[in-house]
Every structure is written in structure tokens, then in C-alpha cells.
Amino acid sequence: MVTDLTSCYTSPAGKEFTLLAGRYAGISPASRVLDIGCGYGAGICNLAAEFRCRCTAVDTSEPNLTIARSRAEELRISHLIDFSQADINDIAPPEDPYDLVLAEGGLLSLLGRQAGLDISSGFLKHRGWLAFSDLVLLTEERKVPAEVLHIYDNKYYHYETEASYRQLLKNAGFEPHIITLVPPSGWDNYYAHMARRLEDSEGFFADRRVKELFHREIDVFYRLEGFRYIGYLFGLVRYEKSV
């Protein structure tokens, strides 16, 4: 069921998870937060509006950043967020590291999970927090219908399971505090947003091939009950490796 009609996340976890991360991590106006791959700015705007923290948001896509910047202006929080167009791989870790890094919407898979975790820890204070959300397989690969594996490009991303993700986090020096699967409403909010975007006549979703791809993804997810085989994992983990 759709529970957030205004969501502009391009991933299934959404506002409640971002705010949970902020609350649990004790984010305050004195805290510094980095959003890797901010997309339309949903996550970082929710954090800045709720906690008045100092934020940096990075994305490779200028069209996405344009939408994110105007969202921040509408919410009157643009003074709290420094948006910049960059590939996170090209940014050197700052002298003053962050209290919380957001990597929502499969950023860790997009960066390569091991590399993504190393990049995230490089930006964090010792005992800083990482909030991530990412696609995982809920069962053995051989039990997942080929069409479902294909639509999420498993051949390229080789998705983890929750257990293997936990192992990766541990090896990279992160201690799990919250690890949970996103409920069905998270997927419904995400696909409701994607369905709205398919009406776009400008930007990323205006492209006919993008529209076809998302039509197919939504169809496969609901027709083949993709939620039986794939899940979206949300994690709030703390970087514990000593420096």
C-alpha cells in the first residue's frame, strides 16, 4: 500500500528510514552529514529539515541536482545543504570528516560494495555512522525467476543476501546497529513515485527507453511477485575500526 504519496526517493526505503538514521545517530545542528548520490535530494532534505544539520550532497547528475536544489529552496533549507556535482570516486576525504554518511538507493552496489564501504568509511569520523539501503536476494539465486534477476541486472551486480552483506560490513569495520528489510509499503511508495515520473516530458524519465525499462520493472515486480525473491535492506552501521 502507498503510504507516502509525496515521496520523491528513487529507492524503496524512504523518509521514515532516513529520519530513523538521523535520530539514532544523534544528529543535531552541530553534526555534519554527507549524502552520496543524493538524487532528487529527498534524503538530505529530510535530514536537514528535521535536524538542522550541516549537509553536503553529491551526485554525478546535474539534472537531479537541479531538482534537489529547488526542493531545498522550497523547504527553506538551502543554506544548510552544499550540493555539488561530482563523482564520489573523485573526491578526496575531507580534513574534517562526517558524523553520518547516507548511501541510500543502492549506492554501495553502484560503487561496488567493497569499494563503496571503503569510500564511506574514508569520509567518516571514527565511530561515525553509515546509513545505506540496497537490493538483496531473499533466497538462493537458482530459486529466483530469471526475469526477476534480469530486470534488476543481477548478472552485473551479483546481489548479496542479508547474511553476506552483514559479513561484508563486518570485514570493512562496520558494526551493525539496525539492519532490517524495508516493508512492502516502501516498495509501493517507490514504484508510485516511479509511475508518476513516467509522465515526465523533461529530464531522465522523458527518455522512451527509460520509460520502457521502468514499465517493465514495475510489471515484473508485481506480476511475478518479485518481493518474494528480492528485498531492500536498510542498514545503520557504525564505523568502529581504530585509526
Ligand X SMILES: C[S@@+](CC[C@H](N)C(=O)[O-])C[C@H]1O[C@@H](n2cnc3c(N)ncnc32)[C@H](O)[C@@H]1O
Non-local (6+) Cβ contacts of 226 within 8 A are: 148, 151, 220
Compute the least distance from the CB of residue 87 to ligand X, in Å: 4
Sole binder of ligand X in the list 73, 74, 82, 87 (CB under 6 A): 87
| Pairing state between β 174-181 and 124-137 | unpaired
The radius of gyration of the chain's CA atoms, rounded to the nearest angstrom, is 17
Give the footprint of ligand X on residues 134-153 (CB under 6 A).
Answer: none
For position 60 contacting ligand X by CB under 6 A, the verdict is: yes
Compute the least distance from the CB of residue 143 to ligand X, in Å: 26
Instruction: Name the DSSP class of 69.
Output: H
Q: What's phi and psi for 160, nearest 5 deg?
A: -80, 170
Distance (Å, whole) CA 6 – CA 200:
16
For position 116 contacting ligand X by CB under 6 A, the verdict is: no
x/- mask, ligand X, residues 26-45, rule CB under 6 A, reads: ----------xxxx--xx--
- Tell me the angle at which helices 184-197 and 208-223 cross, rounded to the nearest 10 degrees: 150
Give whichever of 11 and 31 is closer to ligand X, judged by the CB atom: 11
* Total binding residues toward ligand X, as defined by CB under 6 A: 23
Give whichever of 87 and 118 is closer to ligand X, judged by the CB atom: 87
Find out whether 229 and 148 touch, Cβ atoms under 8 Å: yes
- Chain residues that interact with ligand X, rule: CB under 6 A: 9-11, 36-39, 42-43, 58-61, 64, 87-89, 104-107, 110-111
